[in-house]
Amino acid sequence: MIDFAMSKEQQMVRNEVAKLVKGVVVDTAHDMDEERHIPPAAIQKAWELGFSISMIPESYGGFGLKDSPVETALILEELACGDMAFALAVMLPSLFIHPIAEMGTEDQKEKYLPLYCGETYKPCTLAIQEPHVGSDPVDLETTAERQGKAYVLNGKKCFVPGAAKAGHMLVAAALDGENNLFIVSGDVPGMTVGAKEKNLGLYALDTFEVSFKDCAIPMENRLGGEDGCAYDQLIQKSRVAMAAIGTGVSRASLEFVKDYAKQRVQFGEPIVHRQSVAFMLAEMAYEVDAMRLMTWKAASRLEAGKDAARESYLAKLYTGEMAMKVTDYGVQVMGGHGYIRDYPVERYYRNGRGISILEGIATL
């Protein structure tokens, strides 16, 4: 049944996040970006809303609610509309918690979920992307090899959010040509976390290069045990999550320049009275809507338990293209002012480029 309306519950969740964003993100996003730092208190405040652990059974410390990819997509759009770096930082533990909860063995769930589903935000993360040109999350160069009672990891990851402080991380590696995830403790020998990366965007988010050199981890740390895990499903969720974030960043740019362009007077009239400006805004408006609809469609399939390979791929491809276009228009509408870091469109432009490039940095 095709339906474009949000349920009451979905509206409630979105409003809650919007309130949080208004309270702790909107006024500080610029400073977080400048100072390349997100205040832990702000993250903790978001953590307390409990989105990351709502679907975790109560016995492991969560709320035991039904997992809802659509709801998570709403949350991510709203957070990213506030600030993309903040959104990624807040949802960071989900990168570890959700795959464990969905694909882990009983032992793995019991051992790891309670560690990260407490009242305090504790970083744990996921390492998927690799730093070479042409890297592809489904065609991994990082390998895992069975040696006795251990898996030995070799390879390099980049854009691993929160790696320096993460107690544990999931690491994607190819085992006999099949993609797998491995639970890696933050202090395992053979793993090196580099200095904080400097990137085009996301100045406020701590991301790291992580290298594995003959890094041996216990056999039981293969996610899902001997059967491995549904890796492709994680990729699908990760793509839809990024699509939701792309929608949020683009919407932020649209909303900012909409007001700006109505107030900015040049040649005796507000600049929106010119078709060249007005048509850019019209295009931004319908592309943001289209991005959201693509995201919702893919999320709905996941929510219904269906395969979303096609829908998640198209959603990320589309939002990747359009986030760049919309955030570019955002700068362009503002002209010289758009180039100055006093206005947020400059940040949106840099972050907007990340939507198509970044992989496995968010999940539903």
Partner 1 sequence: MTRPSTRAKKEGLGKNLQTVIAIEELCWGDTGLLLSWPGQGLGNAAIDAVATEEQLERFGDKWAAMAITEPEAGSDTASITTTAELDGEEWVLNGEKIFVTAAERSEAVVVWATIDKEAGRGGIKSFVVEKGSPGFKLDHLEKKLGIRASDTGTFVLNNCRIPKDNILGSSEVKKSKTTAGFKGVMKTFDNTRPHVAAQGLGIARAALEFTKEKLEEVGAEFDYRKSPNNIKSREKDYYLMEANLEAARLLTWRAAWMADNGKRNSMEASMAKAKAGRAGTLLTQKCCDLLGPVGFSCRDLAEKWMRDAKIIDIFEGTGQIQHLIVARQFLGLSSKELK
Residues 260 to 289 in contact with a copy of itself, rule: CB under 8 A = 274-276, 279
Q: Does 5 interact with partner 1 (rule: CB under 8 A)? A: yes
Note the maximum CA span of the chain: 78
Q: Does 310 interact with partner 1 (rule: CB under 8 A)? A: yes
Contacts of 5 (CB under 8 A, 6+ apart): none
Question: With CB cut-offs between 5 and 8 Å by kind, which of partner 1, a copy of itself, none does residue 99 bind?
Answer: none
CB of 77 to a copy of itself, least distance (A): 30
Per CB under 8 A, which region of 44-52, 62-70, 105-113, 342-350 contacts partner 1? 342-350
Measure the N-to-C terminal CA separation of the chain; round to a whole number of Å.
Answer: 23
Closer of 110 and 136 to partner 1 (Cβ) = 136
CB of 68 to partner 1, least distance (A): 20
224-240 residues labelled b (16+ CB within 10 A) or e (exposed): bbeebbbbebbbbbbbb
CB of 226 to partner 1, least distance (A): 24
Contact pick of 31, 48, 214, 289 for partner 1 (by CB under 8 A): 289
Closer of 263 and 276 to a copy of itself (Cβ) = 276
CA distances in angstroms from 9 to 69, 173, 343, listed in the order given? 13, 38, 34
Contact pick of 41, 106, 134, 148 for partner 1 (by CB under 8 A): 134
Q: Does 262 interact with partner 1 (rule: CB under 8 A)? A: yes
CB of 270 to a copy of itself, least distance (A): 14
Per CB under 8 A, which region of 45-53, 116-124, 199-207, 244-252 contacts partner 1? 199-207
Per CB under 8 A, which region of 64-72, 76-84, 105-113, 305-313 contacts partner 1? 305-313
Per CB under 8 A, which region of 142-150, 166-174, 212-220, 282-290 contacts partner 1? 282-290
**Which helix (H) or strand (E) element contains residue 119?**
none
Burial class from Cβ neighbours inside 10 Å (0-12, 13-18, 19+) for residue 223 reads buried
Tally the C-alpha atoms within 13 A of residue 231's C-alpha that lie toward its C-beta.
23
C-alpha dihedral sign at 98, 21, 292, 139: negative
CB of 271 to a copy of itself, least distance (A): 11
CB of 61 to partner 1, least distance (A): 33
Q: Does 133 interact with partner 1 (rule: CB under 8 A)? A: yes
Closer of 183 and 277 to a copy of itself (Cβ) = 277
Q: Residue 51's closest CA among 89, 85, 108?
A: 89
Binding residues among 39-98 for partner 1 as defined by CB under 8 A: none
Q: Residue 85's closest CA among 196, 235, 233, 212?
A: 196
Distance CA 17, CA 5 (A): 18
Asked if 324 and 353 touch (Cβ cutoff 8 Å), the reply is yes
3-class SS string, 258-325: HHHHHHCEECCEEHHHCHHHHHHHHHHHHHHHHHHHHHHHHHHHHHCCCCCHHHHHHHHHHHHHHHHH
Closer of 174 and 281 to a copy of itself (Cβ) = 281
Number of residues that bind partner 1 (CB under 8 A): 83
Contact pick of 27, 106, 226, 342 for partner 1 (by CB under 8 A): 342
Q: Which residue has the tokens 């940040």?
A: 347
CB of 2 to partner 1, least distance (A): 6
Per CB under 8 A, which region of 16-24, 72-80, 103-111, 333-341 contacts partner 1? 333-341
Q: Which residues bind a copy of itself (CB under 8 A)?
A: 274-276, 279
